[in-house]
Amino acid sequence: MTESASPVSDGKKHHFAVDNKHSDTLGIKAHLGIGLVLLAGSVSLAISVGAISVPLDTIWGILLNKMFPDLIAPFWSNGRESIVWEIRFPRALLAAMVGAGLSMVGASLQAVTRNPLADPHLLGISAGGAFGAILALLHTGLFLGLLTVPLLAFLGALGATFIVLMVSKLARSTSADRLVLAGVAVSFVIMACANLLIFLGDPRATHTVVFWMLGGLGLAQWSHLFYPLIILLLCGSWLLTRSGTLNAMTIGDETATTLGIAVSRFRLITFVVGALITGVMVAFSGMIGFVGLMVPHIVRQFVGGDYHRLMPFSALYGAIFLICADCLARVIMAPQDVPIGIVTGLIGGLFFIWLLGKRGPQ
C-alpha cells in the first residue's frame, strides 16, 4: 500500500515555491532599480566631466528646460547650454546605444555558437564594419548621403560574418575556441585590407578614418542618433522576443531541434541581426571591442543565465559600462580625449585573459 502525499506537505512545498518566486521577482526588481539609478548617474557624470565642468543642477535644469520649455528660468550661460545639449548629451546617448547594442549582440552570439568567448570584435564583425565605413569615406563617397556609411558598414560586417562561418566550416573547426581563432584570423585579414584602403586613399582625408580605427564618440550629433536608435529598437526587440529560443540554443542543436526550432535558420538570422547592429554602431562610433564579451558575463553573475533576464540587463549595463568608459577616456589625459577603443581594449583584453584562466585547460 502506497502512502498518499500529505496535503500539509504539498501546501508547504507550494508555499515554498511561491516564496522563492516572489523573492526572485524582488531580486530582479532590485537589480533593475539599481541599474536605472546607475544609468541616470552615469549620464549625469558623462555630461558633467570634461574640459569645462558643469554642475549637476545646471545639467538637469538645461535638460528639463529643453524638454519642457519655460519650466525653469535659465540661470546658466548660452555657452554651457550648448556644451550640455549640443555636445555632451548626444555623446552620452550614443554611448548608451552603442553599449546596449554591442552587449546584446555579444550575448546572442554566445548563445547561438555556444561559445562563451563570442564577441562581435573577436569574430571579425567589427572589423568588417570598419572596412565598410573606410571604403565609404575614402573611395566610394557618400552616394546615398548620410546612409552610405552605415549601409556599407553593415554590408562589411555581414560579409565578415559569412567569411568567418565559411572558414570555420571549410577547416572543419566548429569547436568554440576554434571559431574564435577563425574570427581573429579573418579580423586580421580584413584589417589588412582596410589599411590598404587607407594607403590608397587621399592622404589629406586619411586622418578622418583614425576615428573608426580606434573608436570614439566625439562625432555624436542629434541628426545622427536616429539611425542607431531605430536599429537598436527594431533588432534589439527581435532579440528580446527570441529569449526563449536563445535559451534552447545554449543547450545544444539537438535539444533545440526537438523543441521545434529551425536551428540553422535561426542561427543565420541571429548572425544577420548581429551584423546589422554591429555595422551601424561601428559606423557612428568606430571599432569598440570587448563590450559584447565582458558585459554578458558580468551580468550573468547577478541575474543568471536565463535570456529573458540576461538580454535586457545586458543592454542596460552595456549602456552604463560604455558611458563610464567614455568618461574615463575623457579624463585620463584631459583635456585631450583618449579614443574609447583603447580604453575598452585594455579592460577587455585583461578580462579576456582572466576568462581564459577561469575556463582552465580544455
Reported confidence tier of residue 174, pLDDT bands at 50, 70, 90: low
Average pLDDT, the chain: 83
The answer to whether position 224 is within a domain reads yes
Residue 132 near residue 152 (C-beta atoms within 8 A) = yes
Residues 333-359 as b/e (b if ≥16 CB within 10 A, e otherwise) read eeeebbbbbbbbbebbeebbeeeeeee
What digits encode the pLDDT tens for the residues 182-229? 888 888 999 899 889 888 877 777 777 776 778 888 878 898 899 899
The answer to whether position 258 is within a domain reads yes
The answer to whether position 183 is within a domain reads yes
Exposed/middle/buried for residue 256 (C-beta within 10 Å: 0-12, 13-18, 19+):
buried
The answer to whether position 6 is within a domain reads no
With CA atoms as reference, report the closest residue to 313 among 256, 236, 250: 236
Distance from C-alpha of 242 to C-alpha of 105, rounded to nearest angstrom? 13
- Which whole number is the average pLDDT over 346-361? 77
The pTM of the full predicted model, rounded to 2 decimals, is 0.85
- Which whole number is the average pLDDT over 6-18? 44
User: Looking at the 3D structure of the chain, how many domains does it have?
Assistant: 1
Q: Measured over all CA atoms, what is the biggest interatomic distance in the chain, rounded to whole angstroms?
A: 91
pLDDT of amino acid 67? 85
The answer to whether position 156 is within a domain reads yes
150 residue type, one letter: P
Q: Helix 89-112 to helix 291-303 angle, to the nearest 10 degrees?
A: 80
pLDDT of amino acid 17? 42
pLDDT of amino acid 14? 43
What digits encode the pLDDT tens for the residues 47-106? 998 888 888 888 988 888 888 887 787 888 888 889 999 999 999 999 999 999 999 999
The answer to whether position 1 is within a domain reads no
pLDDT of amino acid 101? 95
Q: 145 is written with which cell numbers? A: 548621403
The answer to whether position 155 is within a domain reads yes
In terms of residue numbers, what domain contains 167? 94-359
| Domain containing residue 233: CATH number | 1.10.3470.10
Distance from C-alpha of 18 to C-alpha of 20, rounded to nearest angstrom? 5
What digits encode the pLDDT tens for the residues 260-301? 888 888 988 998 899 889 988 988 888 888 899 999 999 998
Provide φ and ψ at 261, rounded to 5°: -95, 130
The answer to whether position 332 is within a domain reads yes
Distance from C-alpha of 151 to C-alpha of 218, rounded to nearest angstrom? 21
Reported confidence tier of residue 244, pLDDT bands at 50, 70, 90: very high
